[in-house]
Amino acid sequence: MARIDRRAVILGLGAAAVGGASLAGAGAAPGYEDSDALYAALRGHPGQQLTIGGGTINVVFADGAPGLARGPVLAWVRSAAMALTAYFGRYPVSGYGLLIIAEPGDRVGHATTFGYAGSATRIHVGVDAGREAFDRDWVLVHEMVHTALPDLPRRALWLQEGNATYVEPVARALIGQLPPEQVWKESVAGMAKGNPHAGDGGMDGTRAWGRLYWGGALFWLLAEIRIYRDTNGRRTLRDALRHINHRSGGNTAVWSPEQLMMAGDEAIGATSLVQLHTRFATTAVTTDLAEMFQELGVTSAPDGQLVLDSRAPLARLREAITSS
């Protein structure tokens, strides 16, 4: 039986937004509203193969995607795949199917990623989308990041969505698509939505989109800091996530959150992830965001502009996060 897709669960909660854009909206085009139809289209329709970072991406234009220019779309897919390769050291899965569905409009629309019958994503693209829309898009990289980690039980959706929310801008910065200042500006604005409210419990089972996406992203940034401190700067979160990807093979595997944390800790030689996860999963943890960002050297000038302070205690870590 097909496993429930974790991203699809979010759509039932309302507008699940990251960076101001919404993943919720109208359903998929007729004929592609469920995962079986997606997989059938990827198997049965002609596609264009892209080989990047050791992985093969099969790009299929649903029903020929009338009105959608192929060149800009394929360049956009290549760029997203390069961002994933830069972060994970390779494209995170050996085979990936991408179903492009044309729709009216001038931007990239919503998307859903599946893994139970192979890593695959269904994504909507406006027929009038141009280079600017593709350059500023975060959705495709976000969805590709979902393929890198094993699938987790529904209670741990925050780990999956938080990971994609955290890694996406960092991966784009690694290939020069986003300046580091933009990465940290989005983090400051977004993570303010991630702390628990009065009456909230631990992260496991939360259904609030701010905590699912940005609370989850905050967890992974705190993991970044914890690993840096526990290993005296010798290991990074990227090391842990690469090891998890190699061990699991990506989202076609089904793991527990505990397995994921232990595998990440194997790579760094510490218990950073296990300890942090235990706290966040079961207890409402409130993070002093102002203090955290100040330690990273992310502050605001009197005119409101973002300032990156190279003298801050964790400035070296901050610089390493967005550096290849």
Please list the rounded mean pLDDT of every run of 10 residues in the chain (324 residues). 33 30 39 88 95 98 94 98 98 98 95 96 96 96 98 97 98 97 96 95 95 98 98 98 98 98 98 98 97 96 89 98 93
Relative orientation angle of helices 139-146 and 70-88, to the nearest 10 degrees: 50
**C-alpha to C-alpha distance for 234 and 113, rounded to whole angstroms:** 33
The span from the CA of 50 to the CA of 250, in Å, is 19
Instruction: Dig out the tokens for 98 from the structure.
Output: 């991408």
Q: How far apart are CA 62 and CA 102, in angstroms?
A: 7
Assigned domain for 213 exists = yes
- One domain for residues 75 and 195: no
List C-alpha distances in Å: 14 to 154, 198, 322.
Answer: 17, 22, 32
Residues 161, 309 share a domain: yes
Residue 227 falls inside a structural domain: yes
- Same structural domain for residues 92 and 226? no
Q: Do residues 232 and 287 share a domain?
A: yes
Per the structure, how many domains does the chain have? Answer: 2
Q: What is the pLDDT of residue 300?
A: 85
Domain hosting residue 280, numbered range = 154-321
Note the pLDDT of residue 33: 81
Q: Are residues 31 and 127 in the same domain?
A: yes
| 43 and 172 co-located in one domain | no
**How much is the pLDDT for 19?**
31
pLDDT at 30: 53
Is residue 1 situated within a structural domain?
A: no
Residues 173, 85 share a domain: no
* Domain assignment present for 70: yes
Q: Report if residue 90 sits inside a domain.
A: yes
Task: Give the pLDDT score at 324.
Answer: 82
Q: Is residue 210 part of a domain?
A: yes
* Per-residue pLDDT, 32: 85
pTM strictly above 0.85: yes
Same domain, 295 and 223: yes
Query: 3-class DSSP state for residue 114?
Result: strand
Across 69-219, the runs of DSSP E, i.e. the strands, are: 95-103, 108-114, 120-126
